[in-house]
Structure 1
Amino acid sequence: MFWQYAARFGTRDDASEFLEVHYAEPAQVIRLGEHRAGVLMPWLDELAALSSDGMPPDRFYRAQALVACVLDVVVPRLVMTGERTSPTQRTAVLPSRPRHRQFRPLRAEAREVAAMLRGDLARRWSVVELAEAVHLSSSQLRRVFTEAFGKSPIAFLTMLRAERMAVLLRDTELPVADVAGSVGWVDADFAARQFRRSVGVSPSGYRRMVREGRAGANARGDRAKRA
């Protein structure tokens, strides 16, 4: 068992576009907390490295062991319930009947709005403005967009901003406030709350975990070379 699409992604954030194209229903969001997320990152990094050029047979069992470690952390956090646990939850978390899991083509209006949001993250978008651009009422847009992406346009924008912040925190040394401002959040404290809500850790905590994960990967690489 290994990640067979690793070659399609330059970073983990590329997975979002892959999911939007291939899956109509949202996946379950598991909030692991900062400590558990930090435990997982080195294993996930190693899994990605192992599978980036195809899985060598002699490394297959190492990948299996890493997957087992990941599942050992994640599975106990899964919430299985037949009832809605939040006002915005669209379907039961339990495996549902086929009629609840139909895969439908995304409507052109939803695709266009998503492209507009991706194209200008820093803009102060409103649902009214987006609806007018695709010739729908605000309520129609919310319904169409939520059916397509599992969240409202503004919630989708929040997700995109958090993902872009993650890229900048990982790949640049910009202060957190500057990173937040570049994606449209002028209030750094508000940005930190939104980022934590989306990613599960604070911006500074995420940057620290990335650095620690890279340092650990480099150390493992050095040990492998010496061996």
Structure 2
Amino acid sequence: MAYDCVRVIVVRDGSAILFSEFGTRAVNLGDVVLIGPNVLCGGEPDGHVTATTIYADTDYVIDQVFWQYIGLLQDRLDAQEFAATIYTEPAQVLRIGQDRAGLLMPWLDELVTLDVKDEPVANFYRIQALWFSVSHVVAPFVKTSAVRTSPTQRATTWPTTPRHRRFAPLRQEARSAADLLRADPSRQWSVTDLAREVHLSKSQIGRVFVEAYGKSPIAYLTMLRVGGHERLPGDGHEAAWWRT
């Protein structure tokens, strides 16, 4: 399966075999699996396995990168390109060790409890604190690179935002297409329909839309239908959606 978000999977007990773009790997207690957006990954228990998964909205993660490197970056668009440059591995297994994994357990348990309560506004700051605590332990093990160093590293992946591009003002065709989707999300839109409406070819509208919003038109439409509201990348309404 692939998700339009970042997944952080903490193995709490047992072991499993993962299948992804990195090939086949065994994971055990003391391992954390980091899966980028739109990356296929599956697995099966090796006997038994217990894990907790955090699903972090991609725009939220980019926002954290921006504030972490605020002295180097001009805005969130710079942060997006910066993150795509240094975090080039689409999937990683982080061997943090059982001792460090043990530190995560009470924080993960509390995240699960807060998720079950389903009170994201009231528990917002506590959720952030728990997430930052987990990140502080895990982040030092995340592999970064200024250049491609292995065949599994990807310069571009459709429908995510291309890694090597010069950011420019939002094109009117992309904005018009987004407006059409927001105005009538229940319609059975196709890329061909959108291309006809904004007077671009099917391939052009796909490329222009991804460059503007970081996802394909159909993925954007799915987001509208599931969320029931508009939330554009970088529009000042960044949020994290947690499922554990």
TM-score (norm 2): 0.39
Higher fraction of helix = 1
Higher strand share: 2
